[in-house]
Amino acid sequence: MSGASEIYPTLIRNAAVVTPDGIIPQGYALINEQGRLASVGTMEGQGSLPSVERSVDACGGWLLPGFIDVHVHGGFGHDFMDAGAAELDAITRFHAAHGTTTMLATTVTASQAAISGVLSRVSAYRQQVMPFATLAGVHLEGPFISPQWPGAQNPNFIEPPRKDWLEAWHTQYPGLIRMLTLAPERDGAPELIEWLTRSGIVASCGHTDASYEQLTAARKHGLRHAVHTFNAMTGLHHRKPGVVGAVLDHDDVSAEIIADGHHVHPAAIRLLTRVKRQDNLLLITDAISAAGLGDGEYSLGGLDVMVKDGVARLRDGDNLAGSTLTMLGALRFMVEKVGIDLAAASRMASWNPAKLLGLAQTTGSIEAGKQADLLQLTPALELERVWIRGREPQLGL
């Protein structure tokens, strides 16, 4: 599947441009031939803007930075656990068509061999020109999680922390693993968290039975992120604050949220947005292969999943099994149901994940010199155009 396109110097004008310094109501962005933003500003007083090969009139719509999804398992019928190059094209194309310009290929709890296969295939894919959303690396969700909180992870493959596995993977694929989710209360977890931190890998908690005190202690070893907050972790009680209480209490622990109205009540998300105000709240999809398709039977990590009315659950039991969410859907939910403004929602979908992954120097915001990862939306938040590294991939929008 080919989606590569040429980079054309492009002027996007008459847009409400969402920047780190605020919204430019009548703004423009100029993409140069290197696929970067040459300049960003207001059209007022500019006189005649530079003549370029392409000029796009946004007609008063929004111009946002592309979304960055740090937790996504697949989409459009494919799963990162067994995806080859063609399937990786299909996954990244689907999510790009819903505004994601950068993503982490996220695994599930599986065997060492299965995870090694994902790393091998994603590493090879990254050696070529990626025609759709950029795979910035891999997020290992498990297998070092709590047997008490498997969620939709396959309990047959849960392992105690194995630093030797990570050392071998990191040696073979340096820089490929960007995040690892584990249960920090398990024996050996503190040492692994310290190693991850030294190696530049985000240490994240999830599927965890930790107490408030254990999570707080894990911070001292380098843990700094929590996956799908509220889900698959000890909850908030006024005498036992649990993982949720620790995540809420500590500004240096960033939090993900699945904003689909099924995983977390809008009121709980609203409370989270009032606490996490330091660039430390991220929108994610946790999307599985069913995203973009209809109701029916699917699989996640060898477990049978049923999707009904767009909600994915394990066939055996009532556990939610990832989502069918897109980042554009998450952004709209935050604006329309949670009630936050678009600039704040955009920050959660782009800037905050860029900072977490160490990508903020190149992407995640609309600023001169940065990669032209851009989304043009109508005033009603319908996606019209996508630019990834200055190119407009063929997405069928």
Instruction: Express each pLDDT in 128-155 by its tens digit.
Output: 999 999 999 999 999 999 999 999 999 9
Is residue 80 in some structural domain?
Answer: yes
Res. 13: pLDDT tops 80:
yes
Which residue did the predictor score with more confidence, 190 or 2? 190
Q: Is the pLDDT of residue 339 over 70?
A: yes
Q: What is the number of residues in the chain? A: 397
Residues 34 and 53 in one domain: yes
Tell me the pLDDT band of 273, cut-offs 50, 70 and 90: very high
Q: What is the 3-state secondary structure (H, E, C) of 311-349?
A: EEEECCCCCECCECCCHHHHHHHHHHHHCCCHHHHHHHH
Catalytic residue status for 260: no
Domain match, 52 and 106 both: no
Assigned domain for 17 exists: yes
- Are 338 and 374 in a shared domain? no
| Residue 378 maps to a domain | yes
- 395 domain residue, yes or no: no
Q: Is the pLDDT of residue 48 over 70?
A: no
On whether both 258 and 163 belong to a single domain, the answer is yes
pLDDT on residue 397: 77
Q: Is residue 392 in some structural domain?
A: no
pLDDT at residue 2 tops 70:
no
pLDDT value at position 125? 98
- What total number of domains does the chain contain? 2
Residue 48 in 3-state DSSP?
Answer: coil
Instruction: Specify the pLDDT at position 189.
Output: 98
Q: Could you tell me if 98 and 120 lie in one domain?
A: yes
Tokens at residue 268, please?
Answer: 């709980």
Residue 393: inside a domain, yes or no?
no
Q: What's the distance, CA 17 to chain centroid? A: 22
Contact status, residue 389 vs residue 371, Cβ threshold 8 Å: yes
Q: State the alpha helices, DSSP H only, in the chain.
A: 85-96, 112-126, 163-172, 189-198, 212-221, 242-249, 266-275, 327-333, 342-346, 352-357
Return the percentage of the chain with pLDDT > 70, whole number: 98
| Residue 5 located in a structural domain | no
pLDDT of residue 4: 57
Q: Which two tokens stand for residue 151?
A: 């969620």
Based on the domain organization, do 45 and 86 belong to the same domain?
no
Cis peptide upstream of residue 143 (ω within 30 degrees of 0) = yes
Q: How confident is the model at residue 49 (pLDDT cuts 50, 70, 90)?
A: confident
Cβ-proximal residues to 239 (8 Å cutoff; 6+ apart), any chain:
none
Cβ atoms 225, 203 nearer than 8 A: yes
Q: Are residues 340 and 379 in the same domain?
A: no
The yes-or-no verdict on residue 44 having pLDDT over 90 is: no
Average pLDDT over residues 29-43: 94
Question: In this predicted model, what pLDDT tens digit does every residue of 346-355 receive, in sequence order?
Answer: 999 999 999 9
Residues 31 and 108 in one domain: no
In a domain, 320, yes or no: yes
pLDDT in tens, 288-320: 999 999 999 999 988 999 999 999 999 988 899
Query: Which of 213, 275, 273, 208 is CA-nearest to residue 239?
Result: 213
Higher pLDDT, residue 126 or 49 = 126
What's the pLDDT at 1? 45
CATH of the domain at 22: 2.30.40.10
Give the per-residue pLDDT at 8.
85
- Structural domain harbouring 86: 67-357
pLDDT value of residue 80: 98
- Shared domain check, 42 and 112: no
Residues 77 and 135 in one domain: yes
Q: Can you tell me the mean pLDDT for 317-345?
A: 96
- CATH assignment of the domain containing 284: 3.20.20.140
Same domain flag for 194 and 57:
no
Name residue 54's beta-bridge partners. 10
pLDDT band at 6 (very low <50, low <70, confident <90, very high): confident
pLDDT band for 223, please (50, 70, 90 cuts).
very high
b/e string for 66-104 if b means 16 or more Cβ within 10 A?
bbbbbbbbbbbebbbbebeeebbbbbbbbbbbbbbbbbb
SS3 state of residue 29: strand
| 34 plus 73 within the same structural domain | no
* Catalytic residue (one of 69, 209, 260, 286): 286
User: Is pLDDT above 80 for 5?
Assistant: no
249, pLDDT greater than 90: yes
- pLDDT at residue 126 in the model: 98
Angstrom distances, CA of residue 151 to CA of 34, 142, 300, 301, 346 = 44, 11, 11, 12, 29
